[in-house]
Amino acid sequence: MSRFLVIGVGNGDRGDDGAGLELARRLAQHPPRGACVRECRGGAYALLEAWRGFGRVVLVDAADGGGRPGAVHRFEAHRQPLPAWLRHASTHSQGVAEAVELARSLGELPAEVVVYAIEGGAFGHGGALTAPVRRAVGRVQARIVRELAARHAAIPA
């Protein structure tokens, strides 16, 4: 059974908004031990359904927070609410931040939720990931693999 769920969120038809989906596709080729990998293109309710039954979740999404494209933000959403700017930085009408806070208010937030937000720069229809975001996806992928390996080793079977 998978102990961790990694969900890549986004819209692959909107340039850098496909960052989370790209990460999920890369991880799915060689999933970290004990991890399940999924893609989610829906909003808040789709995310709540996608993580149902998992106690440890990693979410990766693009953000339009005005930062440098390719910058990576990491939040431990199970410890504290996500910053307000992230709720307005999503490229989805109801994205990761809304899903996390909705789940928190309903008492359905998984025990551990880590959110990676990758700053994008180009969100036009039909575009591909920009080079800074593609590099950031690789960095986040490596970090998730390391973190999950360490967490998996620390959890008794």
Q: CA angle, corner 155, sides to 7 and 105, nearest 5?
A: 50
Confidence of residue 87 (pLDDT cuts 50, 70, 90): low
Query: Strand 35-40's sheet: what is its strand order?
Result: 35-40, 4-9, 56-63, 112-119, 72-76
How many CB atoms are closer than 10 A to CB 27? Answer: 23
Residue 80 · residue 114 · CB < 8 Å: no
Nearest residue to 53 via CA among 7, 106, 4: 4
> Which homologous superfamily is 4-147 in?
HybD-like (3.40.50.1450)
Per-residue buried b or exposed e for 130-150, using 16+ beta carbons within 10 Å of the residue's own CB: bebbeebbeebbeebbeebee
**Domain ranges across the chain:** 4-147
Model confidence over 91-137: pLDDT tens digits? 555 678 889 999 999 999 999 999 999 999 988 888 899 999 999 99
Nearest Cα residue to 121 out of 133, 135, 139: 133
C-alpha span between 46 and 88 (Å, rounded): 19
State the burial class of residue 30 (Cβ atoms within 10 Å of its Cβ: 0-12, 13-18, 19+): exposed
Contact 58, 5 (CB under 8 A): yes
Total-model pTM: 0.90
**pLDDT for 15-64, tens place per residue?**
999 999 999 999 999 998 889 999 998 788 889 999 999 999 999 999 98
- Residue of 33, 14, 1 lying closest to 92 (CA atoms): 14
